[in-house]
Amino acid sequence: MNPNPRPFFVIDGIDGAGKSTQVALLAEALEREGRSVVRVRDPGGTELSDRIRAVLLSPSTPVSPVAELCLYAAARAQLVNDIIRPALEAGKAVVSDRFTWSTFAYQGWGRGLPKEAIAELEAIACGDVRPAHVFVLDLDVSVRSARLNQKGNALDRLEQESDAFFQRVRDGFLSMAQTHPASGTVLDASLPPDEIHKVILSEVRKLLG
């Protein structure tokens, strides 16, 4: 493990796992400890990335699996170029709602696209920018549906996918964490948010020394 990683942390997992809550909690905790923190969501964060996000999530816009993969990579490339890399170079911490593991899980395991090609595309999009650690919020697929329904919002294009699709995506996240144990931690997303946050913050503090 890199003893001096860039302070770049990702909260990831299937839809409904509570990522946005944990992003906010971690960012606020780091800010209280005196760090300058940049919060981002992927896709999004720049004018181009936000436009791509709107297309990707629109239920009325059909998107092929390959086009979906390329659009996510394009949005991420712009986010890295405009926001993440400059923030890290300025000594700021970055906390992101999703990053590259989402692509492997959703487009690799979920859509069945070749993971070797995804890795090559991500290398082009992100260059040497890699998270210090990815925290995967693991959630049972049946719980995902209940949580999304409780929000009362219209489901976006990805959220409307079947439980079978999301089971493959969940398996993808777990496989990524198993394959890269030094880079990722799996957390039970059914636990109270405060308990999850304590584990994340403790691990982040260890990584930052």
Top-tier CATH class for 8-208: alpha beta
In whole angstroms, what is the distance from residue 121 CA to residue 151 CA?
34
> What was the pLDDT predicted at 152?
63
Helix (H, G, I), strand (E, B) or coil at 193: helix
> What was the pLDDT predicted at 3?
44
> What was the pLDDT predicted at 5?
65
Rg, Å, the chain Cα set: 16
CB 208 within 8 A of CB 7: yes
Q: Are strands 8-13 and 37-41 parallel, antiparallel or unpaired?
A: unpaired
> What was the pLDDT predicted at 34?
96
Per-residue pLDDT of the chain (209 residues), as tens digits, is 444 568 999 999 998 899 999 999 999 999 999 999 999 999 999 999 999 999 999 999 999 999 999 999 999 999 999 999 999 999 999 999 999 999 999 999 999 999 999 999 999 999 999 999 999 999 999 888 777 777 667 888 998 899 999 999 999 999 999 999 999 999 999 999 999 999 999 999 999 98
Q: Please choose, from the candidates 20, 17, 21, the residue with its C-alpha nearest in 3D space to the C-alpha of residue 194.
A: 21
